[in-house]
Each structure stands twice: as structure tokens, then as C-alpha cells.
Chains A and B, each alone.
Chain A
Amino acid sequence: MRRALAVFTAFAAILWAALPLRFDVRGPRLGIPALLAPGEVFTTDLHLSHPGWRPALEARLERDGVSYPLELVGDHLAWNRLELDYRTPPDAPHGGYDLVLVDDSGVEHRRERSVHLLPPPAHDLRIVQLADLPTFGSGPPDGFGEGPGDAEMRQIVREINLIRPDYVLLSGDVAYVGGWFHYHKLHEHLLDLESPVICVLGNHEYKGLAGYLETMGAPRHVVDHGDLSFVSLNTGHGRDQLTASQFTWLERVMDERHDQRVIVQMHHPLFWKRKVFVRVDEMVELFADHEVPIVLSGHWHADNVFDEHGVSRTDGPDFPGTKYVTTTAAGAELHPDQSTAFESYHGYRVFELHGNQLGRYTYDGDGDGQPDTSSSHPAHRMLIEDLGDGGVRIASSWNEDLLGATVSLRSRRELVPDKGTLLRRRVQGDMILHEVRIDVPAGADFVVKLVEPRP
């Protein structure tokens, strides 16, 4: 009797934990997206509640209310990890999609904007990087509600959508207070970005690590897109200063990508103070060997640029070797004493890549017609106002031209823009979104609107 009860208890205990059979979609995620061309294959990584179990799933991509079924072309089960390879529809339009997995009981598992169908990366790319975001929400740390940080973040998202980079990098301290609620808020804000987002954590994410991992995913990762790779390292302050196991991972990742263009981001800078302390020389050597054009950081809430000898450069942005760049805070308190920029402000870094050569990566802060040594682009100096009638007002207080910006105009009918070039139209519910390419000269203030096409 006692033995029977004991055996029953043991089995019941194990089953209780594993049942009902359930799974978690670990990848791709909003901040660790799959980037590929329509018709190519990406891998979905599932974490199963019971080893050896294969859930029956239906998978699709969703965008603007339209579904595109995914074709399962391979799978790999290892204990409690199931990798499913899905082929994307060759006819699906470019853009960011939700990945939707439906299990046999009809429950939907959605990873919003985790798959981006894109052409292969071009030779010339524009990338935006930001870190140390404003504090979302209002009230106590776990309080719900809107705060000034949300308005700031929305403005930054509008500006980045206008700049329309090929990729957006988020280099840590992304929800400054670090509660679950703040990560949900962050997730909401990021859904408004048109470009794919690649996100890594900073020291502040260790104040609510479970919330970050649940919302944004793995603490370190690599995202590949064609011949381009983004390596994101976890330098969470005081705990994981590039531990031995992470460095071994980095070496392997870099080795496997010796033919790739590699961009690296990590929250802590490698040089000067408040930095990564261990394995710095090894990392610099590794990045030099692989001709990494730029290593991006935040954490200082200040602009600064170092060469690979750890010298803070003030003589101009052009010098040989990898550029180690720290970018000002996008919303957190500024620390001008650590900045070498002409002026301290909230902002983000806009940089260009030509092949594997770093193009322009600093802003012309002093307005002398030349890019500064370390300045990032200022936030809140580009007004984008939706006039509500299919028109948008753009007022730039930048010192430099923004070439090839993209503005989105809405109407109920197919129209044409009165300025710029129509890139494409997207149907969103009963509205039609017109994406228009336009140049925004320094100091310009103009309205672009939709008009009837001329016969």
C-alpha cells in the first residue's frame, strides 16, 4: 500500500510539471529576428515542456491582416529543443511579419514582427543604433500608465521611421527601470518601427532579467542576413563581463563567419572607464583579424570614439582599423563629462556601411559642413506631424541633409505624393499606406501630401 502510493506520487509529480504538453517559441523574436528573402528558409526554435515530444503545428506569417502559410521543410529534435525549418512563400511582399504557430488544440502562439522578408543586404547600408532609452510608464516601478518617456520614445520611433534604416540596433539599458511592465511597453514601442530591430541587454536589464528574457529573448545572439552578421554580446554590469564561456562562443561565431561583414554591439564600451574589464585585448585582436568595421556601445550616456589602441579620438572620425563607438543616451540622463562631442543631447547614431567599409557615422554637430569626431544624431530635432488629411509636415532642425528619407502617407484611395517618389503602397485595413522616398534638406520645413494622379 505504502509502496503503491509512493510510486503513484512520484509519477504524478513528474507528470504534473510536464503536463499539459506545452512549448515556448524561443526564436525568432522581435529583437532577434529572422531576416531572409521571400522563398528562403528560417529556423524556429521551440522549448518543450517534455523532452522528445513533437507538437503538431500549423505555421503562418501575418502582416496587415493577410496570412501567408509556411511550409515545413525540416525539423530537428534534441531532448527538449525542437527546431523547425520553414520555407517562406516566394510571393510574399517585403516587410516585417508576425510568426504565428497554432497547435492542434487551436491555441495561437504569436511572435510579433519576428520575421522580416527583405532583399539580400545591399552594398550600401544605413543603420541606426540607440541605447539607454527613456523610462517608460508612470508612477512606481511596476506602475502602469503613460509617462513622458513614452512620448519621447514615440517621437524617436517616428524619426527612425523617417530615416528608414536597413536595420535598427538596440544596445542595452532598453527599459531603464527593468520591470515586466516596462519590457511590455518597450515591445509595444518597437512594434511601431518599420525596420528590423536587433536588441541586446545592458546592466539595467539585470534588474528584471526574467522580464527581459521573456519579452526580448536570449541575452547574447547573432543575427545573419545574407553576407551581413550582427553579433550582440552580453556585458551586463558586474556579472557577465565577457565570461570565458561567452568569449569561447564569440570566437566560434566569428570563426564561422570569416567571409561575412560583421557588426558588433555590446552595452559596455571596451575602453576607458565603466567598461568591459576582462578579455579586452583578445576581443580587440579578434575584431581586428575579422576586419570588423564598427563596435557599438552605450552605457556612458555620452558620445565618444576610440581606435583599436584604446585612444579616444578627437582629430576626426576617419582613422584606420575598427572604430569603437559609444553613443549618447536616447532618453536616460546625460553625462557630458564623458563625451567628446560638440554638444550633449539625447540622440542615436546613424551610420553607413559601404561593403565592409564604414562610411559616415557621426553627425555634423557644429554645422561646419564636416562630420564631427564622435557626435551622434540629435533626437527631437526632426518634427514629423501627421496632418490627418493624407499630409505630413516635416520640419528639420538638423545641421545636415537627410537624404533618402521615407515618409508614410495614408488615404482611403490610391493617390500619388505631391513630392518625392512613391516607393510602394500597402493595404492596412480600409486604409492605403503610401511609402514615399524624399530628401529632407537641413533646416527644411515642408508638407508632403497625397494628390489625385494627373491623367
Chain B
Amino acid sequence: MIAHLLWLQLPFVYLPLLVVGLAIYGADFEHPSGRIYLWTPLVLAVLHSLLRHFGRVLAKREVSAAVLILGAAVVAYAYRPLHMSWWDERSTSQAAHILAIGVCSVFASQLGARRVTRAGGPDATHAACAFAVLALIATGGMLYPMIALLALAPLMAAGAAVDDEAPDAPRAERPATRFGGWRRYAVLLAGIELSLPLWDFQTDPRWALFLGLGLLGVAAGVVLAARRPLFAVLLPAFATVWTVAAAFDSAQTVCPMHALLVGAGTGWLLRPLFEARAVKDEPASLAWCTPVWIVGILLGYVLAANRSIMGLRLLFWLPLLIPLLGVFRNAPSRPSGSDSRPTT
């Protein structure tokens, strides 16, 4: 599970928190700090791709342990100034620290991904457990908004200590699921929907509860997606009710149940990712899922900030498509993936 945690923390904790900090507290792109934030996504993307192609040296056990322990120390050092103070858009040192944590997060994610790949591909149960732990970590933001960044330090340390997804019996042949098209679109919509409470609560750190509940929902969705008959009916029904309510009155988005259900819908959509065969050192195509999900969170912000514009308000209807897509796209395509699923 720890390899999955390391792999998934980048898209589901670090990147959302970066967006939350920048969106809630603002960014001044004429200030050096703002320019660092502008470069951050590019630097992380380039680093990610470099590590994918040239990071074989990281596969060595000693090297990966050393990188993870060093990363844990860097994360702790970089997080400390944020612990008791506000996210400051005009602090150059804070921007540098956030970038440093991002670099550690990319290293951790790549190491995690390599371990998952080495084990033959991702595992739905491990992924669900990882999402549950990430949910707990995210909820800690209620106490200290950015504490989830610090959580990367013990995660990396744990990764150095435990190599739990070391090669075991090769997982049987799996489908090379393409996580594309409609599914990507649905993840985009989930990003929009799940980010709405974050923009609603703003500086009130109770938004962390909703991020946590969303991730807990994802964990539940990944697990429950295996029990198709019950889940395939109940989830879209509930999620439809909630999303329609959200379209009429955005107050619905700050209902905890809403975050859980949309999270569950997302988990259901993501499940095929965790049943797919690893392709070229990349456990399924999370690389495609991540940018779409982050763009969704950003779009959610644009929607929330311009709620008064009628045309944009109508876009609140879009998330309704998640459950519908689930029914019409996901369910019929599942049997092939599901039936050939090996025992894990």
C-alpha cells in the first residue's frame, strides 16, 4: 500500500493543495514569488518526465531509500514556516519551499509508480487503502491547512523503510485499459464538483474535511465498483439527486454527503485504472488523469468565482453527466475488464 500512497499523493494531495493555496490566498505574478509559482507546474512536469525516462538509477533499493529519507527531511524543513502562519502570496521563500516540496512529491510519486510497476501493476485494494489514508491526511488540514504537505515526510520515510510492493508472484495478464475519452471528461467534472466546497469555505479550513471526504469517497468507490449490481444502481441515483440539487443551489455542494458521493462516483470511474496492466513503467495512464483532474479543480474555482454569471451557473449542470456517463459508458464496458481481473 505504501508504494500506492507514494504514487498517488502527488495528484491527490500535493497538487490540489497547491491550487487551493494559490486560489484562496491569491498570487501576484509580478512578484518573484508569483513567478516561482508560474514555473512550478512546468518544473514538476519536466522533472516527472525526466525521472520517467532516465530514472532507472532510482530503482536501486539503496538509492531509493536514500532519496526518500533525504526527501522527508527536505519536506519537513520546507513545511515548517507554513505550520503556524498564513499562505503568503508575496513570500518568495514560501514559494521556493512549496516548489521544493513539489520536487520531493514528484520523486516520491515516481518511486512509488516504479514499485507498483515492478509488482506487475496497480492493485485496487491497495489503491483503495491508499485513498483512505490520503483522506485522513487531507482532513488534518482542518487543524493546520497545509499539514498534508508535511504528511509527505512520514510517507517518504515509510517508503524508505518498507518496500511492500516488491516483486511477488506476477499478477496475471490484465487488460491494458485505456483511460481516455469520456472517462477523462468525467474526471474533469469530478474535479470541478469536488473543488466547489473548497472555494466556498475559503480561509475557513473546514474545506479540508470536504477534500478528505471526497478522497474517502474515492476509496469507497474503488472498492464498491467491484460489486457492480448494487453500486451501479445506487450511486448514480444518489449522485444524480445531489448534482441536480447543486445545480439549483450551490449550498448543496457544502453538504458532506455530497462530497462522499461525488468522490465515490470518481472512485468508481478510476477503478479500471487500478486493474490495468502497467505500460512502460507507468502504472496505467494516471499521467492523463492527473492534468485533467487538476484542470477540473481550477475550472471549479472559475465557476465558483463567477457564480453570478448565468451562463456559467448553467455549467453547474455539467457534473450531472458523471453518473449518467457512469451508467451509459462505464457499466457496459466493464465486463471485459472485470471478468478477466486476476485474483489479487
Q: Which positions in A face B, CB cutoff 8 Å?
A: 2-3, 5-7, 9-10, 12-14, 16-18, 22, 24, 47, 49, 51, 79-80, 142, 179-180, 206-211, 213-214, 219, 234, 238-241, 243-245, 247-248, 277-278
Q: Can you give 14 A-B contacts (C-beta < 8 A)? A: A6-B72, A6-B160, A6-B161, A9-B73, A12-B73, A16-B76, A18-B83, A22-B84, A49-B83, A79-B143, A209-B203, A244-B250, A244-B251, A278-B307
Cross-chain contact B157 with A245 (CB below 8 angstroms): no
Cross-chain contact B202 with A243 (CB below 8 angstroms): yes
CB contact list, B268-308 vs A, under 8 A: 304-308
Say whether chain A's binding surface is mostly helix, strand, loop, or mixed.
Answer: helix
Q: Would you give the shortest CB distance from A452 to chain B, in whole angstroms?
A: 55
**Complexed CA–CA distance, A180 and B86 (Å):** 12
| Cβ contacts under 8 Å, B76 to chain A | 12-14, 16-17
Q: Which of A12, A241, A248 contacts B307 (CB 8 A)?
A: A241
Interface size on B, residues (CB 8 A): 52
Interface string of B1-41 (1 = CB under 8 A from A): 00000000000000000000000111010000000000000
Cross-chain contact B84 with A207 (CB below 8 angstroms): no
Cross-chain contact A210 with B25 (CB below 8 angstroms): yes
Cross-chain contact B161 with A245 (CB below 8 angstroms): no
Q: Would you give the shortest CB distance from B64 to chain A, in whole angstroms?
A: 10
Cross-chain contact B157 with A7 (CB below 8 angstroms): yes
Given contacts A6-B68, A238-B306, 16 further A-B contacts (CB under 8 A): A6-B69, A6-B158, A13-B76, A17-B76, A17-B79, A17-B80, A24-B84, A80-B144, A210-B88, A214-B85, A239-B199, A239-B305, A243-B304, A244-B251, A278-B250, A278-B307
Q: Which of B69, B85, B305 contacts A238 (CB 8 A)?
A: B305
Q: Which positions in B face A, CB cutoff 8 Å?
A: 24-26, 28, 65, 68-69, 72-73, 75-77, 79-80, 83-91, 143-144, 150, 153-154, 156-158, 160-162, 197, 199-204, 206, 249-251, 253-254, 304-308
Cross-chain contact A2 with B26 (CB below 8 angstroms): no
| Cβ contacts under 8 Å, B89 to chain A | 208-210
| Cβ contacts under 8 Å, B254 to chain A | 243-245, 248
Cross-chain contact A213 with B307 (CB below 8 angstroms): no
| Cβ contacts under 8 Å, A17 to chain B | 76, 79-80, 83, 150
| Cβ contacts under 8 Å, A278 to chain B | 250, 307-308
**Complexed CA–CA distance, A7 and B153 (Å):** 11
| Cβ contacts under 8 Å, A213 to chain B | 86, 203
Q: Would you give the shortest CB distance from B315 to chain A, in whole angstroms?
A: 15
What is the chain A residue whose CB lies nearest that of B144? Answer: A80
What is the chain A residue whose CB lies nearest that of B255? Answer: A244
Cross-chain contact B307 with A277 (CB below 8 angstroms): yes
**Complexed CA–CA distance, A14 and B203 (Å):** 24
**Complexed CA–CA distance, A79 and B304 (Å):** 31
Q: Which of A14, A51, A277 contacts B153 (CB 8 A)?
A: A14
Cross-chain contact B84 with A3 (CB below 8 angstroms): no
| Cβ contacts under 8 Å, A2 to chain B | 65, 160-161
What is the chain A residue whose CB lies nearest that of B308? Answer: A277
Q: Which of B84, B86, B200 contacts A245 (CB 8 A)?
A: B200
Cross-chain contact B308 with A208 (CB below 8 angstroms): no
Cross-chain contact B206 with A180 (CB below 8 angstroms): no
| Cβ contacts under 8 Å, B75 to chain A | 13
What is the chain A residue whose CB lies nearest that of B309? Answer: A277
What is the chain B residue whose CB lies nearest that of A47? Answer: B84
| Cβ contacts under 8 Å, A10 to chain B | 72, 153-154, 157-158
Q: Would you give the shortest CB distance from A269 to chain B, in whole angstroms?
A: 14
Known: A79-B143, A209-B26, A241-B308. Is A6-B157 also a contact (CB below 8 A)? yes
Cross-chain contact B206 with A209 (CB below 8 angstroms): no
Known: A51-B143, A244-B250. Is A9-B90 also a contact (CB below 8 A)? no
Q: Which of B69, B79, B86, B160 contacts A209 (CB 8 A)?
A: B86
Known: A243-B202, A277-B308. Is A9-B72 also a contact (CB below 8 A)? yes
Q: Which of B28, B69, B204, B308 contacts A9 (CB 8 A)?
A: B69
Cross-chain contact A7 with B143 (CB below 8 angstroms): no
What is the chain B residue whose CB lies nearest that of A24? Answer: B84
Q: Would you give the shortest CB distance from A181 to chain B, in whole angstroms?
A: 10
Cross-chain contact B161 with A3 (CB below 8 angstroms): yes
**Complexed CA–CA distance, A13 and B202 (Å):** 28
| Cβ contacts under 8 Å, A49 to chain B | 83-84
What is the chain B residue whose CB lies nearest that of A243? Answer: B200
With most chain B CB atoms within 10 A of its CB, the pick from A5, A7, A209, A219 is A209
With most chain A CB atoms within 10 A of its CB, the pick from B73, B91, B157, B306 is B157
**Complexed CA–CA distance, A244 and B316 (Å):** 15
Known: A6-B160, A179-B90, A210-B87. Is A13-B73 also a contact (CB below 8 A)? yes
| Cβ contacts under 8 Å, A241 to chain B | 307-308
| Cβ contacts under 8 Å, B200 to chain A | 243-245
**Complexed CA–CA distance, A80 and B142 (Å):** 10
